[in-house]
Amino acid sequence: MVKTKDRKKHLSKINLKVFTDLLFLGEKLGFETSEEWKTKIGSIDYVWYIEFPFNFPETKTKRIPIIGFEVETSSRTRKHLKGDILNLLELSPSIGILIILEEGFKGKKRDFDGNVKAVKKYAEGFNSLSNIFVWSEKELKELREKLKTYNRPKEFVSEWAQNLRDEIARIKKTKLKE
């Protein structure tokens, strides 16, 4: 019984570390972040989103999901993994990521590889509907490394948006002079 309790505690620590990473990485990229994003049929573990100051037209929300994450810390049945993919499909983000953490597999590389292979196969079946990717600690580390030297400008506005604003201001000035 002690082993099961210790294992659950270890898996909780792994999950907390990943959620903390997702919080900091998402914010560094300029996203709002949310743990446990509710959907009609369930919930998504973590979401990076943008929020408008008003409900977006034809929707009932200000929050638009951009990247959704499902996180698995240990071996899961194929049925459970399919459920993760369906949750991501229902969320309908630009990118869906299923993170399978090898550390939680307690040295069972074969089980880890089997889960990764199954998820990739299931996700490929939905390529026409969504972009769903499978990550492990490796991809999270890669993203952390890339963002070490990335400094987001205070005004996180694309060049295109700024040029559009400048053009609108120019047109307004021209119209006022007429």
**pLDDT computed for residue 8 by the predictor:** 62
The least confident of 20-24, 79-83, 128-132, 171-175 is 171-175
| Range 26-35 average pLDDT | 90
Q: What's the total number of domains in the chain?
A: 1
Is 156 within a domain?
A: no
Q: Is residue 155 part of a domain?
A: no
pLDDT band for 176, please (50, 70, 90 cuts). Answer: low
Backbone φ and ψ for 104, nearest 5 degrees, come out as -75, -5
| Position 97 pLDDT exceeds 90 | yes
Question: Is residue 145, in this structure, part of any structural domain at all?
Answer: yes
Residue 171 within any structural domain of the chain: no
Reported pTM? 0.76
**Domain boundaries, position 97:** 2-150
- Please indicate, yes or no, if residue 108 is contained in any of the structural domains: yes
Task: Spell out a b/e string for 73-92, using b for 16 or more CB atoms within 10 Å of the CB, else e.
Answer: bbbbeeeebeebbebbbebe
Q: How confident is the model at residue 160 (pLDDT cuts 50, 70, 90)?
A: low
Has residue 157 been placed in a domain?
no
Segment (H or E) for 27:
helix 2-28
